[in-house]
Amino acid sequence: MNVYCVEQQVQSCKATTPDVLGPYYFPRPPHRRQICDRDPAFKNERHLLVEGRILDESCQPISGTRIEVWQADHDGHYLFKENCRGYFYAEKGGHYAFLTLHPGTYSTDPKKELFRPAHIHFRVQKPGYNILVTQMYFAGDPNLGRNDSCTECSSDRSDLIVEPRQMCADKTGQFCFRIAHFDIVLKRGNEVSVVPDVDDSEPELDDIVETGK
């Protein structure tokens, strides 16, 4: 009798690359899944739906994860309070989604020669896992990688770059929006996965190590 031994394959996921917190973090954003809706461009531009899953390093979904997002508005400006920022929780199966618009790029020098690529900030937190601070970028942006004015940022990392696809309600092309899929993998621990940056203020860094907010 022949005996066949089948080796069990254990699937694994690589932890998402961290990024800088940046100078525009606001510690107490509103609870909402639709951001930048007060930007005048929100009604005129095609909406961007960002969706994905929160997973652990064995590719198992993590539900109940607190997700903070913040970004520049359509013109590349950061506004505090309830503008272009919010938080929500991952649902069953680790799924999350929020509606926004494509963030604008902005210059970081007086001569407007240096630019940051368009990006959305994430701060992801779940007890038992490292707090992850990262950013989501867009494929084809000319300011990615070497052209990024932030030399410490991770805009050259492929796991942080998405390529949105367009979805339309009908063939007229008048009712369309774009969907960006962005999965996030957390690492077990009680530390903070973040890239140190000179623009991060001490109060901001103190806040990201606090839990339960």
Mean pLDDT value across residues 9-27: 85
Q: What is the pLDDT of residue 4?
A: 35
Mean pLDDT value across residues 132-146: 97
Report residue 177's pLDDT band, with 50, 70 and 90 as the boundaries.
confident
Q: What is the pLDDT of residue 42?
A: 81
- Checking if the pLDDT of 25 tops 70, the result is yes
Closest CA to 150 of 110, 182, 195, 180: 195
CA 72 to chain centre: 12
Terminal CA-CA length for the chain: 61
pTM for this entry: 0.87
Report residue 50's pLDDT band, with 50, 70 and 90 as the boundaries.
very high
Q: What is the pLDDT of residue 16?
A: 98
Report residue 197's pLDDT band, with 50, 70 and 90 as the boundaries.
confident
Instruction: List all residues 6 or more positions away from 118 whose beta carbon is below 8 Å from its beta carbon.
Output: 72, 102, 103, 104, 105, 137, 138, 141, 143
CA distance 207 to 20: 14
Mean pLDDT value across residues 193-206: 68
- Checking if the pLDDT of 180 tops 90, the result is yes
Report residue 79's pLDDT band, with 50, 70 and 90 as the boundaries.
confident
On whether the 41-203 domain is CATH 2.30.40.10, my answer is no
Mean pLDDT value across residues 172-193: 91
CA distance 196 to 78: 21
Q: Look up residue 88 and give its amino acid.
A: F
Stretch (H or E) spanning 44: helix 41-44
- Bridging pattern class, strands 161-162 and 131-138: parallel
Report which listed range, 50-64, 76-90, 185-199, is most confident. 50-64
